[in-house]
Amino acid sequence: MTSKPGLGASSPRVILGMPLYNSAEHLPEAIESLLGQTFRDFRIVCTDDGTDEQSAEIINRYQQIDARIDYYRNPERLGLTSNWRRCVEVALSRYPDAELFAWVSDHDHWHLLWLETLVAAIDRDPNVVGVFARSAVMGDGRTLNPRSATPSLSHVGLYTTRLRLISRRLRAGHSIYGLFRMDTVRRAGIFRDVLYADRLFLTEASLYGSVEQVDAILYYKRPTGAFSIDRQRKSCFPNGVPLYARLPWWLQHARVLALELGIRGAGMPRVSRGAGMRVALLSGIYNGRMVADGHWRWYRKDRANRIERLPTHVRKGAAESSCSRLDDLRARTAAEIVSLRRLAGK
């Protein structure tokens, strides 16, 4: 752990938690875009889960010019979700009076008005527990492609509607980089040890109030390679994948929600035990159905691709065969229509 001058002074209003993991290449850009924010009452808490020394060197360079950066090195590799959680735990212990929290990545870029805009948005309405900005995607060619708007996870009243919205439309990898009330972060279990922990966090946070989108592109995301569930499993659980983590992710979420909200009553008084059970059930149903639909869409697409890849003579045969079946059908239908007309004529 590196200590720095200025600690112990009054708590900043916002903590930016930056989990680090061997991403030195884009770290200077990420840090500079945060230090340049027009809203200045924040601390960046970096928890380094990586193996290289470069990240520490870079952070140290910026610590020389700005006292708002804290750096902590994990004694052993924690894995993705645990390191994200560690950020919050360090922030809570170091700055217990901080009101707001945001996770920030070590390879993205933030518009200098990002924090000012999000703080203003969350301050406007006490029912808002989280806000996030629209994003654009950066590629290696340094292009920026704006993404379409993500729906706000507004407090729409019925859990049914909200959970369906989350299951179908949420881009968790984007919305998770929003600004949340510290109290909500705590109540939503910080970052639980499940796959797609960001999705589960946003689901839980939305039970305590609105999670709103600010309609401005203020966050620039750099994709970090193709997503795969196996890759996430390995990065979340570097010391061995527990048995429950081998379940489908939506079952893991439903299980956690049932345990935490339904049995332990962690959401009370806002979410009663009964409501918690209902949330767990609905989450399982909607997410499960969404996954099944996704598989079905993939299967249909894959089947079409496989037919495309077939040798020409086979494809031609398949096409002819389907044509002949279609002709049979047409002939039969025509015959039926004729017979029906005859009947009607009689």
Residue 16 phi, psi (nearest 5): -105, 110
CB of 29 to other proteins, least distance (A): 5
**From 9-17, 94-102, 139-147, 326-334, span contacting other proteins (CB under 8 A):** 139-147
Cα separations in angstroms, 323 against 202, 317, 328: 50, 10, 9
Q: How many residues bind other proteins (CB under 8 A)?
A: 30
SS (H, E, C) 116-133: HHHHHHHHHCCCEEEEEE
Binding piece for other proteins, criterion CB under 8 A, among 57-65, 80-88, 275-283, 307-315: 57-65
Q: How far apart are CA 82 and CA 183, in angstroms?
A: 19
Please name which of 208, 9, 190 lies closest in space to residue 97, comparing C-alpha atoms.
9
Among 60, 145, 333, 339, binds other proteins (CB under 8 A): 145
Which structure tokens are listed for 306? 């496989």
In the three-class reduction of DSSP (H, G, I as helix; E, B as strand; rest coil), residue 71 is classed as strand
Q: Does 56 bind other proteins (CB under 8 A)?
A: no
Q: Nearest distance from residue 219's CB to other proteins, in Å?
A: 9
Q: Does 226 bind other proteins (CB under 8 A)?
A: no
Query: With CB under 8 A as the contact rule, which of the stretches 69-77, 91-99, 105-113, 188-196 interacts with other proteins?
Result: 105-113
Beta carbon of residue 100, minimum distance to other proteins (angstroms, whole number):
20
Question: Is residue 287 at the binding interface for other proteins, with CB under 8 A as the rule?
Answer: no
For 193-224, give one letter per residue: b (16+ CB within 10 A) or e.
bbbbbbbbbbbbbbbbbbbbbbeebbbbbbee
Q: Which is nearer to other proteins, 222 or 278 (CB)?
A: 222
29 binds other proteins (CB under 8 A): yes
Cα distance between residue 155 and residue 167, in whole Å:
15
**C-alpha separations of 31 from 17, 60, 114 in Å:** 12, 11, 14
Which of 3, 51, 93, 143 contacts other proteins by CB under 8 A?
Answer: 143
* Nearest CB to other proteins, comparing residues 227 and 346: 227
Q: Would you tell me which residues interact with other proteins (CB under 8 A)?
A: 28-29, 32-33, 35-36, 61-62, 65, 109, 111-113, 117, 136-146, 216-218, 220, 223
